[in-house]
């Protein structure tokens, strides 16, 4: 079984938790992004940046400890298979570390679509059953 880091927009945290449960039930060790509450509107810019940096550092450490990343890229803002800036950054980090990259859904038309596809991810078409057996 593999160590898998799940990445995606925090809008999808509930879906990521469901994916985590499904993968853990199959024997995988799964890492989720930090999801504690932080009210960015109530903090000054310095506090916001410091908190964001901590979240980024923590999740990149999880990616480093993983064999692969699973991108939970659901539809958002009318974009199919949405991938935001943090997720693209995490994908590039995984790519640089020669980790497997799995997209839950094909990326729809968006600003980073070519970059995403350039990272040579495996598209699962919404089915975890399509994960490579390792």
Q: Check which CATH number belongs to the domain holding 112 and give it.
A: 3.40.50.450
What pTM was computed for the model?
Answer: 0.93
Distance CA 128, CA 20 (A): 11
Q: How many domains does the chain have?
A: 1
**CB-based burial of residue 42 (10 Å sphere; 0-12 exposed, 13-18 middle, 19+ buried)?**
exposed
**51-58 long-range contacts, Cβ below 8 Å, gap at least 24?**
56/86, 56/89, 58/34
* Tens digits of pLDDT across the chain (134 residues): 999 999 999 999 999 999 999 999 999 999 999 887 656 566 788 888 888 899 999 999 999 999 999 999 999 999 999 999 999 999 999 999 999 999 999 999 999 999 999 999 999 999 998 987 76
pLDDT of residue 55: 92
Quote the domain boundaries for residue 98. 3-130
Task: Specify the pLDDT at position 6.
Answer: 98
């Amino acid at each position: 079984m593999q160590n898998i880091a799940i990445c995606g927009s925090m809008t999808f945290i509930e879906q990521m938790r469901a994916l985590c449960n499904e993968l853990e039930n199959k024997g995988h060790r799964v890492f989720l992004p930090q999801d504690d509450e932080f009210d960015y509107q109530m903090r000054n810019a310095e506090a916001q940046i410091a908190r964001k940096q901590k979240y980024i550092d923590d999740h990149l450490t999880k990616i480093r400890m993983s064999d692969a990343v699973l991108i939970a890229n659901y539809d958002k803002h009318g974009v199919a298979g949405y991938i935001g800036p943090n997720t693209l950054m995490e994908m590039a980090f995984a790519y640089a570390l020669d980790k497997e990259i799995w997209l839950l859904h094909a990326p729809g038309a968006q600003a980073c679509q070519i970059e995403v596809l350039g990272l040579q991810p495996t598209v699962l078409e919404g089915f975890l059953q399509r994960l490579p057996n390792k």
